[in-house]
Amino acid sequence: MLFLIALLAAIFGFLFGTDQGVISGALPLLKKEFVFTAQSEGFMTGAVPFGAIFGAILALVTVDRFGRRPVLTFCAILFAAGSLAAAMAFSVWSLTVARLVIGAAIGASSLVAPMYLAEIAPARIRGAVVSAFQLMITIGILAAFVVDWAFSFTGSWRYMLGFSLVPAMICLAGIVKAPESPRWLVLAGRDKQARDVLKTVQPEATPERLDKIVEEIESGRPSDPVEESWSRFKEPALRGLLIFSVLAFFLQQFSGINVIMNYAPHILENAGFEGLANELVATMGIGALNVTVTILAMIVVDRLGRRPLFIFGFVGAFLSMALVAVLFQLNDNNLAWLSLLGLFSFVFFFAISLGPLPWLYMSELFPLALRGKGMAIASISNWLCNFLVVFLFPVLAAGLGEAMTFGMFAACCAFGIWYAWTFAPETRGLVLEEIDQTIAGAPETGKTG
């Protein structure tokens, strides 16, 4: 049952990935039908992360009031509506509006789904379960690349953009039957229902163990409205954790990952590859590597720990992106294969570290009473940075050149090495309530171990 619940919640990550990845293959075809400027191209491509900012705000004001499951149900409806509207788009701006709707669904679900997974999973496998959300994002991106390649021969961009309608309907059919988060049920004063859900997802647990889990959750439930107040983020430990989460997403996005995922065919063309089909085949290779290494990350994250992987990821991402920047500066078509190797290397280090860890940290670090607020702020920072990177790339590449632009991403990864080494906490093996207790005495840097 835990597997089925985790799979259902993680399918929202699949939707996230398909809508993020599909535009890379559809964009060359869209340019043949619609007239784009650099700004309209950037905004249409960045409409998903821009809409996600508002989706995260929507989740912030609803997730603690109505519960995790109703918000995810609404997200599935938005996904379906946005995918259908994108497939039926008749202009650049109608497509942009459709992608804004999809973005709102992604922004809300990317906040609530990891929260739901973290709150329903046993501590011993929580890292793997929450990382399943990131895995499904990568599978969704790969599926989008495959769909793009398949329809590239017919030029059917409408089928590309409408592909997400199928998993959206699966999500909608499944989430209405899924249980509510046990921790939200305790927060709402429904302890018996929370115990029943815990028994469903942890059938091996003894009655005494279930009672203890409920008691631990109960002890974290705020007895005073002040405990849920925004003002609590002024406390040194919580302020440090909030800053850490926000900057983790800033560094994730400014590593350049979504430029690669959204503009991969364009980047490969400029690196020396010829033909849209060949570019999409190489792009599928990037997507397949992303999936494979994310599975590896799920295996090692609860064994090696969060902190070592975070540092390792930034080191590799810096070296890879620096190589790509140098190769674009040399501008030698004979080195196109080396540029592809650099992109593959970057995706490897991102997928094993920078991809899943900010989402996992976000779902673990904040205490129950402030989890929705803390995750919303971190998520909004993610989408704002995502939008800025995707929107600005065509403009920066046209003005500064792609070599300089990739060099800027490499510099952000270099800063990430220092930041992860200095501030990244370790939460491996701790139940959420133990993390809360540890954080209560943590210094302002946000370290918990």
Q: Is residue 446 scored above 90 in pLDDT?
A: no
CA distance 387 to 341: 26
Q: Is residue 273 scored above 70 in pLDDT?
A: no
Predicted local confidence at residue 226, as pLDDT: 63
Mean pLDDT of 26-30: 85
21 belongs to a structural domain:
yes
Binning pLDDT at 50, 70 and 90, where does residue 445 land?
very low
Q: Is residue 448 scored above 50 in pLDDT?
A: no
Phi, psi (rounded to 5 degrees) for 334: -70, -15
CA distance 110 to 417: 25
Which residue carries 């405990």 as its tokens?
A: 227
Which residue range forms the structural domain that includes residue 342?
A: 2-178+222-439
CA distance 393 to 395: 5
Predicted local confidence at residue 88, as pLDDT: 94
118 belongs to a structural domain:
yes
Comparing 264-273, 382-391, 433-442, which segment has the lowest mean pLDDT?
Answer: 433-442
CA distance 297 to 344: 16
Interval 72-128: pLDDT, tens: 999 999 999 999 999 999 899 999 999 999 999 998 998 888 888 878 877 777 777
The amino acid present at 201, given as its one-letter code, is V
108 within 8 A of 382, measured Cβ to Cβ: no
Residue 352 tokens read as: 């094993």
Residue 177 tokens read as: 């039957």
Q: Is residue 138 scored above 90 in pLDDT?
A: no
DSSP H or E segment with residue 179 = none
214 within 8 A of 198, measured Cβ to Cβ: yes
Predicted local confidence at residue 75, as pLDDT: 94
Residue 217 tokens read as: 């959750």
CA distance 398 to 263: 14
The residue count for the chain: 449
Binning pLDDT at 50, 70 and 90, where does residue 19 land?
confident
Of 222 and 255, the structure prediction assigns the larger pLDDT to 255
Q: Tell which phi-psi region holds residue 275, choosing left (phi > 0), alpha (psi between -120 and 50) or beta.
A: left
Average pLDDT along the chain: 82
18 within 8 A of 141, measured Cβ to Cβ: yes
Closest CA to 366 of 230, 210, 224: 230
What's the distance, Cα to Cα, between the start and end of the chain in Å? 32
Mean pLDDT of 384-397: 82
Mean pLDDT of 17-38: 82
28 belongs to a structural domain:
yes
202 belongs to a structural domain:
no
Interval 144-161: pLDDT, tens: 888 888 888 787 889 999
Comparing 176-185, 257-266, 408-417, which segment has the lowest mean pLDDT?
Answer: 257-266
Binning pLDDT at 50, 70 and 90, where does residue 44 land?
confident
Binning pLDDT at 50, 70 and 90, where does residue 440 land?
very low
Q: Highest mean pLDDT range out of 2-6, 57-61, 249-253, 385-389?
A: 249-253
Phi, psi (rounded to 5 degrees) for 364: -100, -35
DSSP H or E segment with residue 407 = helix 402-423
Q: Is residue 25 scored above 50 in pLDDT?
A: yes
Mean pLDDT of 188-217: 82
Mean pLDDT of 168-183: 86
Comparing 12-16, 273-277, 291-295, 317-321, which segment has the lowest mean pLDDT?
Answer: 273-277
Residue 442 tokens read as: 């943590």
Binning pLDDT at 50, 70 and 90, where does residue 71 land?
very high
CA distance 350 to 342: 12
216 belongs to a structural domain:
no
96 belongs to a structural domain:
yes
Please, is 102 exposed, middle or buried when counting C-beta atoms within 10 Å of its C-beta (0-12, 13-18, 19+)?
A: buried
265 belongs to a structural domain:
yes
Predicted local confidence at residue 270, as pLDDT: 64
Binning pLDDT at 50, 70 and 90, where does residue 414 land?
very high
Residue 324 tokens read as: 């790509």
Closest CA to 100 of 134, 169, 136, 54: 54
| CATH code assigned at 228 | 1.20.1250.20
Interval 201-210: pLDDT, tens: 778 778 888 8
Q: Is residue 419 scored above 50 in pLDDT?
A: yes
445 belongs to a structural domain:
no
Classify residue 275 by its DSSP letter.
Answer: S
Binning pLDDT at 50, 70 and 90, where does residue 265 land?
low
The tally of CA atoms less than 13 A away on the side-chain side of residue 204 is: 2
Phi, psi (rounded to 5 degrees) for 429: 80, -5
Give how far the C-alpha of residue 232 lies from the chain's centroid of Cα atoms, to the nearest Å.
26
Binning pLDDT at 50, 70 and 90, where does residue 449 land?
very low
Per the structure, the count of domains in the chain is 1
Interval 345-389: pLDDT, tens: 999 999 899 988 887 888 788 887 787 788 888 888 888 888 888
Q: Is residue 32 scored above 90 in pLDDT?
A: no
